[in-house]
């Protein structure tokens, strides 16, 4: 056997072919069983999709490269659970396209940042991180005060619906109006946002200026939604503690 392996190493193309065969067999053993089941992830009953405003904030979050320094994946390690909260479940990201898991933590993990800080804190932090955290190395994002372009929200929701995210026709048709209404709690459309996405959805002027819909509104709305779209992780942690 060793002689055969030694001779194979002298034939470069033969060695490459052998590596491909072994890797293919291993891959098929791991992947083939997945085609025999309907779902690999059980979606929680209470999982809701992002509102149009939160979705816009997520797109800006990716545009600005925030994922390069902040993971959204809490591992099942005691110190991480103590610091960030219940460990992340794949089911929580069932509607994320793409998902933003990872292990890069130049900054803290954001999987459960929703509700941890006030809207004012997030606005101040994004405008000038060192105003709230003097040792921060995070860049400032003052341009987020510009108006939010909502023209692509309707086609974005329609595309995600085709990928399995449960956006219905009413959600898609009212995407632009719902994005504006979520930042204007006194508007006629505010109640419609909660009717479509749930009573727990935050409806308020995230940048404290209901007269304008800005990118800051969208980003803060997105950050405040992280970890709040389902209680599945908290329920799983409670079960494990019993």
Residue 146 backbone zone (phi > 0: left; psi -120 to 50: alpha; other: beta): beta
Beta bridge partners of 214: 147
Calculate mean pLDDT across residues 113-126: 97
Q: What is the CATH number of domain 52-241?
A: 1.10.760.10
Measured CA distances, 229 to 38, 59, 198, 226 (Å): 24, 17, 10, 7
Confidence of residue 84 (pLDDT cuts 50, 70, 90): very high
Name the pLDDT band for 128 (thresholds 50, 70, 90): very high
Residue 169: asked if its preceding bond is cis (omega within 30°), the reply is: no
Average pLDDT on 14-21 reads 81
Alpha helices in 133-214 (DSSP H): 153-162, 169-173, 175-182, 190-197
Judged against a pLDDT cut of 80, whether residue 177 lies above it is answered with yes
């Amino acid at each position: 056997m060793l002689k055969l392996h030694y001779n194979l190493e002298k034939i470069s193309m033969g060695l490459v072919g052998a590596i491909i065969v072994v890797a293919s067999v291993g891959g098929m053993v791991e992947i083939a069983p997945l085609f025999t089941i309907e779902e690999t992830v059980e979606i929680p009953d209470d999982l809701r999709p992002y509102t149009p405003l939160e979705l816009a904030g997520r797109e800006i979050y990716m545009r600005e490269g925030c994922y390069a320094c902040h993971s959204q994946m809490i591992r099942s390690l005691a110190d991480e659970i103590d610091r960030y909260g219940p460990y992340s479940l794949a089911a929580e990201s069932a509607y994320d396209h793409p998902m933003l898991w990872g292990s890069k933590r130049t900054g803290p993990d954001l999987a459960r940042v929703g509700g941890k800080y006030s809207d004012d804190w997030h606005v101040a932090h994004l405008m000038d991180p060192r105003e709230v955290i003097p040792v921060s190395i995070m860049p400032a994002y003052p341009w987020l005060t510009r108006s939010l372009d909502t023209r692509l929200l309707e086609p974005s929701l329609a595309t995600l619906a085709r990928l399995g995210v449960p956006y219905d026709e009413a959600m898609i048709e009212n995407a632009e109006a719902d994005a504006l209404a979520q930042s204007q709690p006194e508007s006629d459309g505010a109640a419609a946002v909660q009717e479509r996405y749930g009573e727990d959805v935050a409806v308020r002027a995230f940048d404290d200026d209901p007269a304008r819909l800005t990118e800051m509104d969208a980003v803060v709305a997105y950050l405040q939604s992280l970890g709040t779209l389902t209680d599945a992780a908290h329920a799983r942690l409670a079960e494990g503690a019993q």
